Amino acid sequence: MNGEPPDDRPLWDALLAIFACPAILVARDVGLYTALRDGPRTIDELSSALEIAPRPMRSLLAVQLAVRLIEPAGDGFALTALARAYLLPDSPSYFGGFLDLVQMGAPMYTYDGLKRVVRADAPTMGDVFDPGAQDPGFARAMTGGMHAMSAAPARAWPRACGWQPKVLLDIGGGSGVHAIEAAQRWPELEAIVLELPSVCEIAEETIARHGLTARVRAVSGSMWKDPLPAADAHFYSQVFHDWPLAQCALLARRSFESLPPGGRIIVHEMLYEDDAKSGPLAIAGLSLSLLFGTQGEQYSSAEIQAVLAGAGFVDLTTTRTFGYWSIVTGRRPG
């Protein structure tokens, strides 16, 4: 080899990241985050409260420090704002359902499991969106996971949208988290969540829990074949990423035909940071996870814009809204 080999740290970071995810799940399970809720504690205090020997305690804490979930405080450690927002159960943006979903998938997300889906290009979980085959328990876990990961970005996109709809149709809206946050931001808004029957029931419960049944309702149906309720904005969050681009084009065309002139389409996704799809790693990982249960993948801004342009939408914009999240919007001319 000529000269020095390149810095090998990116490989170390990727190869040993295999321990980061379980270290967060285990920390939650043993009660580390809640043990730090009321203030800093030392390693010895944490060891005895959580019944974990000092050596594993130090290694578990080192990952939390590296991910900036805890920080040094006096002789011990304190939760950061990041951990308080996403890892304490009473926070409105708690990741709980999302962590449950990751934990549920752990037996599948192995070396063998990934090799199988990469080779087969067919989801090992079957068609998770087949209403006839959908297990209600799985639908509840999946919807809880989506709700948890959507809680924070759902508050951000209406602020970034720059336009206020009268009636928002949240297509494949899951728990209704986006419709609910939009209705809270815009007091005049009427919102409709279109969902498969088993998820529709969960959306109704969530809407009622937020006291919004007067303005937000859930409608059971299929976005592929049922007539779409009248609305001046169609919102799709993490729906395009479940399908190949040709199917996304079908959805965009259905939306174009159903929206009035001047109506908008809003596609909410975690987009790759550039059109070459060169990161970030979290979005590349999310794309791999979709191999297990969907026909989709993560897309770039250019890909979503091309789908919307192909359906006839104009004034296409992509706006970063929160963290890795963006909206791609278009207007039906007229």
Ligand X SMILES: C[S@@+](CC[C@H](N)C(=O)[O-])C[C@H]1O[C@@H](n2cnc3c(N)ncnc32)[C@H](O)[C@@H]1O
Query: Which residues are at the interface with ligand X (CB under 6 A)?
Result: 129, 143, 146, 150, 172-174, 177, 194-196, 199, 222-224, 237-239, 242
Q: Which is nearer to ligand X, 34 or 91 (CB)?
A: 91
Reduced to 3 DSSP states, what percent helix, strand and coil does the chain have, rounded to the nearest 5?
50, 15, 35
Shortest distance in whole angstroms from residue 28 CB to ligand X:
21
Q: How far is the CB of 275 from ligand X (least distance, A)?
A: 23
Kindly tell me which of 177 and 252 has the beta carbon lying closer to ligand X: 177
Q: Tell me the C-alpha distance between 269 and 224, whole Å.
A: 20
Q: Which CB sits closer to ligand X, 30 or 290?
A: 290
Q: Which is nearer to ligand X, 27 or 216 (CB)?
A: 216
In the three-class reduction of DSSP (H, G, I as helix; E, B as strand; rest coil), residue 322 is classed as strand
The SS3 call for residue 123 is coil
Which CB, 294 or 318, lies closer to ligand X?
A: 294
Buried b (16+ CB within 10 A) or exposed e, 314-333: eebebeebbebbbbbbbbbe
CB of 176 to ligand X, least distance (A): 8
What is the closest distance, in whole angstroms, from the C-beta atom of residue 156 to ligand X in the complex?
13
Give me the least distance between CB of 294 and ligand X, in Å please: 8
The residues, ordered by sequence, that sit 6+ positions from 42 with a Cβ below 8 Å of its Cβ are: 75, 76, 77
CB of 201 to ligand X, least distance (A): 11
Contact present, 255 and 228 (Cβ < 8 Å) = yes
Strand boundaries in 151-291, DSSP class E:
167-171, 190-195, 216-220, 233-237, 264-270
Q: How far is the CB of 302 from ligand X (least distance, A)?
A: 22
Instruction: Decide whether 141 or 302 has the Cβ nearer to ligand X.
Output: 141
Q: What tokens were used for 204?
A: 């109704």
* Radius of gyration of the chain from its Cα atoms, rounded to whole angstroms: 22
Q: Is the CB of 60 or the CB of 239 nearer to ligand X?
A: 239
Compute the least distance from the CB of residue 269 to ligand X, in Å.
9
Residue 11: what residue type? L
Residue 55: which region, alpha, beta or left (left: phi > 0; alpha: psi -120 to 50)? alpha
CA distances from 236 to 7, 107, 118, 280, 326 (A): 41, 30, 27, 22, 12
**Residue 69 or residue 194: which is nearer to ligand X going by CB?**
194
Q: Sign of the CA dihedral 62, 64, 65, 67?
A: positive
For residues 176 and 205, what is the distance between their CA atoms, to the nearest angstrom? Answer: 10
